[in-house]
């Protein structure tokens, strides 16, 4: 990812490489703040994080379900909420795109 950021910068673009776990709600606000501080107002969010477990629906445990939904639904929701707050606060609006799939 750092190489890609360097390529973007070489073409006069701006990029920032950050790592976070969207299922860890406590990481969302600081990450959104770091993005805004480094790059300015957020105009677009693409929620594309997703995961699955290797289990049939009939065998899926509650902890596996929580892990999948923590990333695929809860993480996407609270990431969108944090970015939407930034968009409203800066008065510019923006777009939030949610990408999802479901596998059992």
Tell me the pLDDT tens digit for each residue of 57-103: 899 899 999 988 888 899 999 999 999 999 999 998 999 999 987 66
Q: 12-48 pLDDT, tens per residue?
A: 999 999 999 999 999 999 999 999 999 999 999 999 9
| Domain-wise residue ranges, the chain | 2-98
Is it true that domain 2-98 has CATH number 3.40.50.720?
A: yes
CA distances from 25 to 12, 29, 79, 102 (A): 33, 8, 8, 22
Name the pTM for this structure: 0.83
Half-sphere exposure of residue 104, counting CA atoms within 13 Å on the CB side?
8
């Amino acid at each position: 990812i750092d190489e890609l950021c360097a390529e973007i910068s070489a073409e006069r673009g701006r990029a920032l490489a950050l790592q976070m776990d969207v299922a860890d709600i406590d990481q969302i606000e600081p990450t959104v703040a770091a993005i805004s501080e480094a790059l300015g107002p957020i105009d677009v969010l693409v929620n594309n994080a997703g995961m699955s477990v290797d289990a049939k629906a009939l065998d899926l445990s509650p902890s596996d379900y929580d892990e999948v939904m923590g990333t695929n639904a809860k993480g996407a929701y609270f990431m969108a909420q944090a970015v939407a707050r930034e968009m409203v606060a800066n008065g510019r609006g923006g777009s939030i795109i949610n990408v999802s799939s479901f596998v059992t």
